[in-house]
Structure 1
Amino acid sequence: MSYTIGIDLGTTYSACAYINVDGKSEIIPNSEGERITPSVVFFEDDNVVVGSYAKSVAVSEGERVIQFIKRRMGGDYQIHQNGRNYTPEEISALILKKLKQDAELFLNTQISDVVITVPAYFDDKRRIATKTAGEIAGLNVLRIINEPTAAALEFCASREVDNKTILVYDLGGGTFDITIMQVNGKNVDVTATGGDHELGGKDIDDCLVNLFQAEFIKATGFDPLISIAGEQELRAKAEETKRKLSSSPQTRVALNVEGRVANFKVSQHQFEEIIEEIVLRTEMNIELVLEEAELTTEDIDDVLLVGGSTRIPLVGKMLTRLFGKEPLRTVNPDEVVAQGAAILASTIGVEPRTRSSTTTNALPTVSDVCAHSLGVVSLNDFKVPENSIIIQKNSKIPCEASEVYGTVAKNQSKIKIIILQGDAQDPDDCVVLGEAYLENLPPSEAGSPVEITFLYDHNGILSVTGIFQLTGQSVSAKIEVQGTMSPEKARQSMQELKSVNVE
């Protein structure tokens, strides 16, 4: 039997799942017997180690350990290890390769087809980078799905939900998403989404690291953050402390950096004080998404928690105050995203599966939205560049939209399209995703109409086409997305990483 699997490629932890013979989503344990795998990579002398061991040696081998790479996706960042430079896509591919190997070991079969999750607020370049990472790892990426949407798939697959408006609050290791959806039976219809791709558990850990630094200096007169080993020691203890304070009113912290020792207590009240601003930022995002959806807190029937950081009591307190009811804690926040991805994988996989018709009919369906407005730089009547939006934020995907623009010069043979993300009128206040080019235009007068079409697919990835309306000539645009690998480079990386031994 062959399987398609779902993968939650997380900032701090990753997980994978499949649909078992009973038609239920099930987490695939890694080769160490763990249900989730730290997204940490250790470059040993001849091998690459991914997971708990890599995380455990971060203090002693900090210069050879890579963490939080998800925050670098879609950027030009490079890391030099073992004699070569690695891109974020390649580091992520090593994590995916580990997950693939563990799934093959557990299921006793080759794995190729997968669905990979991303934060709902990931833009086009980060989605492309994630898909590329999967391809470098030797995977056939059937779909990229938003993490909150995947969580909702698992939520409604195991219970009857009758026409409810649900808000998914997803506070993960490195990203934060808010998604509002209508759930009726097994149907998930996303209506609005928002968030911050640089807000998550890591930022909460950073608050504790700063507190620990001050306490350590007070006790020893020495700054522990001047060394990589010191930083890793504080970061490891910060995560441990965060977990303890999620269930205890206080905890002891013992730090040892270069033979210097500091011992002190941290209370839950003290912890809540230093992370209050972060939780407030998530509340402001909730209010913004509710406003965009033209809803109030009273319109929300349930709040579903996703991501390990939602275990922090202050998060529950804020949501209870805001919505007047406690959030749902009926799913495992660390595992639900991978399980939902597995459900989607089972519906679009091409391989035969052994499953009863009753189980198949019970699988939910999903409709998602575009997380950002997408447009191009155009000249207004005063020849001032402005953002011309073609696809509006929260449009249902897949979607297609067109706008007509005029050429600037007589006999213009080429049009450069600067693709923008954002709602601001000024292009400088938007994010430039990349550039596309319409070439080989026939001779014409200035102002000749060219229709530009954006197609946004199920993966949240953009393609561009154009029609020169005077002749009906169709022109395909070659998109150059900034900060992502070319297909040629990705194929080269896939060949090079085949020889890398991942444990």
Structure 2
Amino acid sequence: MIVGIDLGTTNSAVAIWRDGAASLIPNSLGDVLTPSAVSMTEDGTILVGVAARDRQSTHPALTATAFKRLMGAQKPVMLGRTRFSAEELSALVLRSLKADAEAYLGEPVESAVITVPAYFNDRQRKATRRAGELAGLRVERLLNEPTAAALAHGIHQREDKEPFLVFDLGGGTFDVSIVEIFDGIIEVRASAGDNRLGGEDFNDVMVELVRGQLKGVDALPLSNSELREIMRAAAERTRRGLTEADTAPFSLVWKGREIRRDVRADAFAEAAAGLIARLREPVLRSMRDSGIRTEQLSEVILVGGATRMPIVRRAVTRMFGRFPNASIDPDHAVAMGAAVQAGLKARDSALEEIRLTDVCPFTLGVDTVEFDRLGRMHSGVFCPIIERNTVIPASRVHVFSTVRDNQPVVEFGVYQGEARQVDANVKLGQLSIPVPPRPAGTVRIDCRFSYDVSGLLEVDLTIPETGASKQLVICDDADAPDDAAIAARREVLAALKVHPREDAANAATLARAERCYEAFLGERRDHIGQMIIGFEGVLQKQDPKQIKEARDEIERQLDALEGERFL
């Protein structure tokens, strides 16, 4: 069984292509979105999803969120005294989604199509693939998120479309893709993005906006990690409140005091103007690279939960001179598209006539030397061979020559990026080839790059004069640990005491109740405390029917206190 997975910064989802349609799979709580959060309890038990997210403000040192932004980096995340990499935390989320899918489908899930931001570089993509492997999945393909959204949209419409733009602003990343559908082919014309821009950044703006209004006894420093997470949670609620109203409350409880301020939509828009401005450059880059003008776009499709913000929708409307299309749920589109791709991989008969092309998200090239007008040599200069937004699969050749007399060997460093100096790009590999001793500039070296949709890059060097050749193959898992190392890391993750699925609902309810206890004061706080004590007493009886009735009742009362829970 193969599924499609949207591994998101804020929320993740899993979907399946079955009976000619894509459908989302609910988790153990019945929700189709699972928070991308991992928390460790004091006894070492691992919580994933809602239960973990609700501990963010109460146990910040034991909880991790937004770790997708660290994928491919060598920065560890500490949960208490336990060290995790971003890919290991992502593997725990993926493993939870895998377990949910298996419980729902009633059969093992062995493979997955996993989505990544279009602007993820090679290291980030490799880390994502390793996360899938650590979760016990065979990763059939890494699919760009806006491409997945376009795929879902194309299947939904099932008709030819003029070029349209997918505007994907999620919790932590921003991607833009220009797509065209014709004769059963979904073709991506160009992609661009910003891996450090998303809803989390708008939450930070909200925090700073409110902090500026808190003076005197209400002033709140952000040096305390617990306070910082409480403020970020409050900012998230306020930002969502402004989606449907011109004013929304920002409220929290800190050291026994309730602090509340009303935030106006226009004040938030002014504070977030810098982030809104950053949305423009990736859009312009994708338009330039595709050669498509704004008036040639048939529509603009919104994807990602952060596109629900009115300030974002207004910015998109001004940018394109038209209202965007939000007919597909922005939180679900990527997972649905991943399920479509999973169906394609499984060769579902309903998808026989659907084909998908994609583009190379970053320029691929080698390091070279250049001479200035005075004959001085400058090394470490990037020479593009396959430029960004080239439709893949693609193969390109570039001719080089020696730079010194009787040079014995030529070294090629293989890089990915857009910077002129190679040290600002991502190095993918190194390749060298011996050359015959000749005067500088007289030995020709053909360097061919071949790149396919799976992320595999072949670099072929050929010396026409001698027929000598060398090849380097760089694929998504080329620098991954060997099978033994992967197996060892999987054993470490498997040894973690993960909260059982059947108890996940109880853990989530307790975590939510404890968070609410800290958020309220007075009689409401006392009431929540009594509910927690009562629920813990029911849990000790281990009667499933009584536990469910008590859990439903406490959830009903918590809903009444703080409104419906959001994901």
What is the TM-score of this pair, normalised by structure 1?
A: 0.90
Distance in structure 2 (CA, Å) of the matches to 1:413 and 1:193: 37
Post-superposition offset of 1:426: 3.6
SS in structure 2 at match of 1:158? helix
User: 2:273 aligned to 263, 270, 276, which one?
Assistant: 276
Q: Does 1:261 align with 2:258?
A: yes
Equivalent residue, structure 1, for 2:113: 115
Equivalent residue, structure 1, for 2:354: 364
User: 1:348 aligned to 345, 349, 358, which one?
Assistant: 345
Equivalent residue, structure 2, for 1:169: 167
Equivalent residue, structure 2, for 1:427: 422
User: 1:494 aligned to 483, 490, 494, which one?
Assistant: 490
Amino acid at match of 1:127: R
Q: Does 1:384 align with 2:374?
A: no
| Aligned pairs for 1:133-148 within 5 A | 133-148=131-146
Equivalent residue, structure 1, for 2:523: none
Post-superposition offset of 1:57: 0.6
Distance in structure 2 (CA, Å) of the matches to 1:245 and 1:444: 71
Distance in structure 1 (CA, Å) of the matches to 2:35 and 2:131: 17
Distance in structure 2 (CA, Å) of the matches to 1:185 and 1:112: 32
The question of whether the paired residues in 2 share the 8 Å contact of 1:173 and 1:202 is answered with: yes
Cα distance change of structure 1 residues 275 and 247 upon mapping to structure 2, 3 Å threshold: same
Distance in structure 1 (CA, Å) of the matches to 2:32 and 2:205: 28
CA deviation digits over 1:291-337, x for unaligned, max 9?
22222211111000000011111222222223232111110111110
Distance in structure 2 (CA, Å) of the matches to 1:292 and 1:420: 17
CA deviation digits over 1:414-442, x for unaligned, max 9?
735152411x43435x4233432336x47
After TM superposition, the structure 1 stretch with the greater mean CA deviation from structure 2, 486-495 or 48-57, is 486-495
The question of whether the paired residues in 2 share the 8 Å contact of 1:93 and 1:134 is answered with: yes
Equivalent residue, structure 1, for 2:202: 204
Distance in structure 1 (CA, Å) of the matches to 2:458 and 2:475: 11
- Structure 2 unpaired stretches of 5+: 500-567
Equivalent residue, structure 1, for 2:234: 237
Post-superposition offset of 1:463: 4.1
The question of whether the paired residues in 2 share the 8 Å contact of 1:437 and 1:478 is answered with: no
Amino acid at match of 2:429: E
| Aligned pairs for 1:73-112 within 5 A | 73-81=71-79, 84-112=82-110
Amino acid at match of 1:328: N
Cα distance change of structure 1 residues 421 and 446 upon mapping to structure 2, 3 Å threshold: farther
The question of whether the paired residues in 2 share the 8 Å contact of 1:156 and 1:185 is answered with: no
The question of whether the paired residues in 1 share the 8 Å contact of 2:402 and 2:410 is answered with: no
SS in structure 2 at match of 1:402? strand
CA deviation digits over 1:50-107, x for unaligned, max 9?
1111010111110111111111111111123465532221111111111111111111
SS in structure 1 at match of 2:365? strand
Identical aligned residues as a percent? 34
Equivalent residue, structure 2, for 1:288: 285
SS in structure 1 at match of 2:151? helix
Runs (4 or more) in structure 1 with deviation over 6 Å come to: 480-484
SS in structure 1 at match of 2:334? helix
Q: Does 1:315 align with 2:309?
A: no
Equivalent residue, structure 2, for 1:398: 393
CA deviation digits over 1:186-240, x for unaligned, max 9?
4211111111111111111110111232334x15254341211101101111111
The question of whether the paired residues in 2 share the 8 Å contact of 1:142 and 1:349 is answered with: no
Distance in structure 2 (CA, Å) of the matches to 1:106 and 1:69: 27
After TM superposition, the structure 1 stretch with the greater mean CA deviation from structure 2, 221-230 or 145-154, is 221-230
Corresponding residue pairs, total: 489
SS in structure 2 at match of 1:48? strand
Distance in structure 1 (CA, Å) of the matches to 2:204 and 2:338: 30
- Structure 1 unpaired stretches of 5+: none
For the pair shown, the structure with the greater C-alpha radius of gyration is 2
RMSD of equivalent CA atoms: 2.5
User: 2:431 aligned to 421, 430, 437, which one?
Assistant: 437
Equivalent residue, structure 2, for 1:373: 363
The question of whether the paired residues in 1 share the 8 Å contact of 2:61 and 2:80 is answered with: no
Post-superposition offset of 1:468: 4.2
Cα distance change of structure 1 residues 446 and 8 upon mapping to structure 2, 3 Å threshold: farther
Post-superposition offset of 1:475: 2.2
Post-superposition offset of 1:264: 1.1
Distance in structure 2 (CA, Å) of the matches to 1:29 and 1:315: 29
After TM superposition, the structure 1 stretch with the greater mean CA deviation from structure 2, 164-173 or 77-86, is 77-86
The question of whether the paired residues in 1 share the 8 Å contact of 2:162 and 2:181 is answered with: yes
After TM superposition, the structure 1 stretch with the greater mean CA deviation from structure 2, 371-380 or 482-491, is 482-491
Distance in structure 1 (CA, Å) of the matches to 2:395 and 2:17: 33
Distance in structure 2 (CA, Å) of the matches to 1:127 and 1:191: 21
Amino acid at match of 1:63: A
